[in-house]
């Protein structure tokens, strides 16, 4: 029995990977910056945040596109949209610069949780999501 189509698994897997990269970037690189000045420069590069969120947005959007309209699916989508909104705001709104790491990590965790929730929901119910 196939729970998810291969493209749907790839999109969720890609989205989870991007969320993981965001978390690693926000948490691990500043620690590495203590030892490697080059990593510090990379960790503080504003363009990195913008690029990662601009990659995460369409990947997550495509993964959730066409999700069923059940209450659980709407919850997954709401969680993903809220997380992506936090990530977008932290990357593009200068007024949030002081809270950028906290907002980005929180948003990335929310997006990852939404993808895991969606993945598990489809596996549990034997649904084959579109895409």
Whether 1 maps to a domain, the answer reads no
d(CA 28, CA 103) in angstroms, rounded, equals 16
Q: Are 106 and 80 in contact (CB under 8 A)?
A: no
pLDDT greater at residue 66 or residue 19: 19
| Residues in CB range of 121: below 8 A, 6 or more apart | 72, 73, 76, 127
This prediction has a pTM of 0.65
Domain span at residue 77?
6-125
How far is residue 67's CA from residue 130's CA, in Å, rounded to a whole number?
7
Is there a domain that residue 130 lies in? Answer: no
Classify residue 112: in a domain, yes or no: yes
Counting the structural domains of the chain, the total is 1
pLDDT digits (tens, 9 = 90+) for 44-86: 777 888 888 898 888 888 877 766 666 667 888 899 999 999 9
Classify residue 27: in a domain, yes or no. Answer: yes
């Amino acid at each position: 029995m196939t729970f998810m189509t291969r493209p749907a698994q790839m999109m969720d897997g890609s989205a989870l990977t991007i969320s993981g990269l965001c978390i690693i970037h926000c948490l691990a690189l500043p620690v590495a910056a203590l030892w490697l000045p080059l990593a510090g420069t990379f960790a503080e590069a504003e363009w990195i945040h913008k690029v990662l969120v601009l990659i995460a947005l369409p990947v997550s959007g495509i993964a959730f596109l066409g999700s069923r309209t059940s209450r659980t699916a709407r919850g997954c989508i709401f969680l993903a949209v809220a997380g992506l909104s936090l990530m977008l705001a932290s990357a593009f709104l200068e007024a949030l610069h002081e809270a950028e790491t906290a907002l980005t990590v929180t948003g990335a965790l929310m997006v990852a949780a939404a993808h895991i929730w969606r993945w598990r929901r489809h596996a549990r119910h034997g649904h084959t999501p579109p895409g």
